[in-house]
Structure 1
Amino acid sequence: MISAVPPFPDGQLQQLGYVVRDLDEAIEQFSATFGVSRFFVWRDLGATITGKTYRGRPGEFQFSCAFGYAGDIMVELIQHDSGESIFKDWLDERGPGLHHVCFLMGSVQQFEAAVAGMEAAGHPIAMSGRSEDARFTYTDTVDPFGVYTELAYGPPEFLAAFDRIKAGDF
């Protein structure tokens, strides 16, 4: 029997993350195909992240992202830039495509409980990091669900940036 994971959907399904080979090309494709009209592009995002881990050891990865919204769901496009990462692994093994779903936690305590619960349920941490007080952890749920599960926490001031992106205020 699988041990119970703390009910992290108490947070919210925030994001669908796609790994892409070329960020600019993917932005054009998502805009044309799905009508995501604007993306906020953040180059070299990995440079701002501390406490990076990759598969249980310190990590050194760089990536760039574009954030847009389809209704209330964030669409994240991720381009691996350098180092070892689950983004590079995905591209090498599967090619571009849907990579993860992200659940946003309402508190650091909820985030930590969800991460511990996922590990206890047999879904190890594949990659993680921090950006100031914001935190993210990708748990390996690829075998049972076909994608990683990202658990994230962002303080109100961090989340305000996403509200501005959603409103097109950038």
Structure 2
Amino acid sequence: MTGLPAGLPRPGVLPAPLAGLPVGQVGILVPDLAAGIATWSALLGTDEWLVYTYGPDTVPQLSYRGRPGTFRMRVALTGSSPQVELIESLEGPSIYTEWISEHGYGLHHLGFRVPSAEKAIREVTASGVDLLQSGSGYGQDGDGGFAYFDTQETVGLIVEAIEVPGRRKPSESLPEVRQ
């Protein structure tokens, strides 16, 4: 296929371990999680959200660009086909702060559910795609993991491999909208 308009992804863009999997999540960066929940609740017709704060104190293994991660973020999750994830970056550096600096808020990544984030990292990086950021151990039983890969040149945004924990920790309360 030739003559694709600028900004469109090239065909065959997903790393092999993720190719063919359905999109399990759409990740959206928001400047304020409470306001994002209010907006997206109205758009999606739901007010059922799970809210979590993730950082070094809640995710035992964090990495950012090959080094230990020190970032923190709050996320809100709703739905399942695909799930919508709203992310408010609290502390950086992270791929969220990079994206906001370069692109602003809005669509950030597509997530794909995998049985093992660790295995996805091995296979995707072996195919030549860089790992940007990862975390593991945030489930109640120390399972669960995520890994973001640099597919901006091929997909036009970042892709994430998601190992859903067997049991999630209880959701935090919904944040209140700032006045």
Larger radius of gyration: 2
Ranges in structure 2 where 5+ consecutive residues have no aligned partner: 1-11, 172-179
Amino acid at match of 1:102: G
Superposed, 1:1-170 pairs within 5 Å as 5-8=15-18, 12-42=22-52, 44-46=53-55, 47-69=57-79, 72-106=81-115, 108=116, 111-130=117-136, 131=138, 132-158=142-168
CA gap of 1:101–1:161, structure 2 versus 1, over 3 A, is farther
**Distance between the aligned counterparts of 1:87 and 1:153, measured in 2?**
20
Q: TM-score of the superposition, structure 1-length normalised?
A: 0.79
- Please give the alpha-carbon distance, in whole angstroms, between the structure 1 residues aligned to 2:166 and 2:50: 19
**Kept in 2: contact 1:126–1:138 (CA 8 A):** yes
SS of alignment partner, residue 101 of structure 1: strand
1:36–1:93 distance in 2 versus 1, CA, 3 Å: farther
Percent identity among equivalent residues?
A: 32
Q: Could you tell me the TM-score, scaled by structure 2's length?
A: 0.75
Task: Give the CA RMSD over aligned residues.
Answer: 2.5
Instruction: Select the structure that is richer in strand.
Output: 1
| 8 Å contact kept, 1:12–1:105 | no
- Give CA deviations for 1:132-169 in whole Å, capped at 9, x if unaligned: 211111011112111111112134334x979xxxxxxx
Number of aligned residue pairs: 154
Bigger helix fraction? 1
8 A contact 1:6–1:113 mirrored in 2: no
Which letter does structure 1 place at the counterpart of 2:73? F
SS of the counterpart of 2:48?
Answer: coil
